[in-house]
Amino acid sequence: MTRTRLIAPAATAALAATGGLITAAPASAAVTCASPVWKAQYFGNSTFSGTPKLTACDSAIAENYGYGDPAGVTLPRDNFSVRWSLTRDFGSGGPFRLSAATQDGMRVYVDGVRRIDLWKNVSTTARKTVDLTVPAGNHTLRVDYVAWTGLAQAAFTYTPRTEAAVDTVKPLAPTGVTAAYNRDTAKTMLRWAANKEMDLAGYRVYRRLSTTQWAKVSGSSLLTTPSFVDAPPATGQTFLYEIRAVDKAGRESAGSLDATAATVDRTGPAAPAGLTVVSDAWWATLAWRGDADAATYEVYAASAATGPFELLGTTTTTSYRTDGPVNTVRYYRVRALDALGNPSAYAAVTGDGVDRTPPKSPVSVGSVVRVDYTDVYWKQPDGFYEDFDNGGTYHVYRSSGRTLDPAALTRVTCAEESDETSTGGICRDLDMPEGTYVTYAVAAVDPAGNESALSAPLVVRTGDRVAPGPVTGVQATPRADGVLVSWAAPAEDDVERYAVWTGARQPDGTVKWLGSSSCREGTSDPLAVLCGDLPDGETYVYAVVARDLWGNALPPSDPRVTVVQATERDLRPSVTVTRDWDLGSMGYGTVIGGPDENGPSINWRCDRTAECDTVAGYRISRWNAATNAYEPLHDEPLPAETRAYTDTTAARGTTHFYTLEAVRADGSVAGTHVWSCVFQDRV
């Protein structure tokens, strides 16, 4: 049989002394079982009545008594009972799973509330699992077990559920945190009380200064014991510590109460590294690499290498700007100080006051291009106003082609309309070549002649007065939704858009151009449009002209322009329907072709009360050329209150013809409306 019992302390001592068989404590002996060990009471009846025959400590409930009574106690083979109980601290509580397996009866209680009830004499093992949330703090578990007849076995476990999706309860914050700083080793010993959670995975230690965020210092792995040794920076600052518990679901507790450790600081920072000085006409700018322990820096200057040095000022950054005599040698030195005032060694540098510093490069270079000129404009970063006020300027350069050629730059002579300021400028170029590509760049120049690096290059197509040549490959193809006009792209690279003209040929052979409003562009082919409205067999001529960026374009009447002729398809129904609708106004589109259209639609009103009161419904029919008939689009008439209809089954790329009939209850028609819709499939 399986036994998990922990014998009471007196019996354990007897075992150690005699080396013999463990004898359970007598029923009358006081037995205390330290939490979370179970206290087990054995009764010689099935009602838990009278004095227990045995009281013992069990580390777990996992009993298999077989057909006999428990070992170490005299009980009847049948009709005996065992009661296990314990009280323990569940910490922050959370989701738990109670699991029972018994033969025969078992009941499980949490704080006196029954959670599992398997109270029945059975011949096979009965099992039950219950999930519940246990509140934080101390709680009492009690398991009552009865063996009535036959085999006897009992098992019970309570385990935390640690799935992240289930366990949403954070552990309790650790308590009892202490911090002891050793000035000799510059280390902090941290200790705290162990958490009570059963699903505790470990701890993390965080540290910060009073002005910074918490940072984890205990490493990537969780601590499994309630202590930690930290080596904080020996800066003389006071560090705060907090401990956080982490459960097996990965949830972290709130921080513990803070513990503090005041560190020792006896050394200054490292001397500033890489000290340089850069002069321009008015300023000397010192820069260096700082040390992590530095809080401030002191900057000194002298006219002689041996001094005396004058304190110019302090800064918390790693640069300092001061006015410097032009073309005059000056000696500088800088040192760092930590938060306690501990100084570093000095770093030294010598400046000659010669301005060798070019301005910053202009940015945001753009252009406005016209036929007769090109305006190049730019912006200048901050810091140029003193240079500009004392004679600074800009140089605008140009080279031929689409890339800037540094070896073939032409300095642009800006026209009088140009304008320069300390924050940017505009240069009007009147001498650029027409109808070609040039590339511009701009540089800023200070009074000492230091020129900045060139700006980013700007490629410009200059203007001209020459219209693009005739468009070739023009074709006009009749379709069921209009006439598709297409063409080939011209050779010019400054074409901005195209105009497609529709015209009617006159008896004398000339063309009367009607405009381009009946032609509509699509989205996928920039070299094609769809022209026309209702395909009713009319003949038109078409011309395509290209318009460039400067507004130059050939007129459609120019003899060089290709003119093509096309006759629309005639798709009108062969059956004539009389239009006698007099019930109210209509609204519909004759041409539909947008990509978001759902299909041809119509809406109507029925305003003549006497006639409209006789209308029982409406019928929409569409012409079917295959059957040579108008065919209804719905099985039953539309309800009498209907005032709109959309043909979502209409095919795009063709023309549809429809009738709308107001139908009376006897089947007669109160009014008929006829209309058509070109459902274009634009390219």
What confidence score (pLDDT) does residue 11 get? 38
CA dist 197 and 371 (Å) reads 83
CA dist 501 and 479 (Å) reads 18
Residue 634 clears pLDDT 70, i.e. is over it: yes
The helices-and-strands tally (H runs, E runs) of the chain is 3, 50
CA dist 660 and 663 (Å) reads 10
Chosen CATH of 586-679 out of 3.20.20.140, 3.60.140.10, 2.60.40.10, 1.10.10.10: 2.60.40.10
Mean pLDDT of 300-311: 95
CA dist 453 and 357 (Å) reads 11
Please tell us whether the domain made up of 5-160 is placed in CATH 3.30.565.10: no
Domain 273-351 matches domain 363-461 at the CATH topology level: yes
Order of strands, edge to edge, in the sheet holding 61-66?
Answer: 61-66, 152-160, 94-103, 126-134
pLDDT digits (tens, 9 = 90+) for 560-585: 999 999 999 999 999 999 999 988 88
- As given in the structure block, the two tokens for residue 287 are 């820069």
Could you give the maximum distance between any two Cα atoms of the chain, in Å?
138
Give the pLDDT band (50/70/90) at residue 19. Answer: very low
Closest CA to 259 of 182, 196, 185, 192: 192
What CATH number has the domain spanning 475-567? 2.60.40.10
CA dist 438 and 432 (Å) reads 8
pLDDT digits (tens, 9 = 90+) for 414-434: 999 899 999 999 999 999 999
The model's pTM: 0.47
Residue 20 clears pLDDT 70, i.e. is over it: no
CATH architecture of 273-351: Sandwich (2.60)
Mean pLDDT of 132-152: 96
- As given in the structure block, the two tokens for residue 100 are 């029972």
For residues 412 and 398, is the Cβ–Cβ distance under 8 A?
Answer: yes
Q: How many CB atoms lie within 10 A of CB 52?
A: 19
Spell out the residues 6+ positions from residue 454 whose beta carbon is closer than 8 angstroms to its own.
361, 397, 404, 441, 442, 443
Domain ranges, ordered by start, for the chain: 5-160, 178-262, 273-351, 363-461, 475-567, 586-679
Residue 477 clears pLDDT 80, i.e. is over it: yes
Order of strands, edge to edge, in the sheet holding 319-323?
Answer: 273-279, 283-289, 319-323
- Residue-level length of the chain: 683
Q: Can you state the percent helix, strand and coil of the chain, rounding each to 5? A: 5, 45, 50
For residues 106 and 143, is the Cβ–Cβ distance under 8 A?
Answer: yes
Give the pLDDT band (50/70/90) at residue 390. Answer: confident
CA dist 215 and 430 (Å) reads 64
For residues 614 and 662, is the Cβ–Cβ distance under 8 A?
Answer: no
- As given in the structure block, the two tokens for residue 531 are 């022209």
What are the two backbone dihedrals, phi and then psi, of residue 86, each rounded to the nearest 5 degrees?
-155, 155
Q: Per CATH, which fold does 363-461 belong to?
A: Immunoglobulin-like (2.60.40)
Query: Which helix (DSSP H) or strand (DSSP E) does residue 417 occupy?
Result: none
What does each C-alpha distance from 248 to 169, 220, 352 come to in angstroms? 11, 15, 67
For residues 443 and 449, is the Cβ–Cβ distance under 8 A?
Answer: no
pLDDT digits (tens, 9 = 90+) for 28-67: 458 899 999 999 999 999 999 999 999 999 999 999 999 8
What does the radius of gyration of the chain's CA atoms come to, in whole angstroms?
48
What confidence score (pLDDT) does residue 589 get? 55
CA dist 311 and 307 (Å) reads 11
- As given in the structure block, the two tokens for residue 301 are 């200057």
Q: Is the dihedral of CA 627, 633, 638, 642 positive or negative?
A: negative
What confidence score (pLDDT) does residue 318 get? 97
Residue 22 clears pLDDT 50, i.e. is over it: no
The superfamily in CATH containing domain 178-262 is Immunoglobulins (2.60.40.10)
Closest CA to 503 of 492, 512, 490, 493: 512
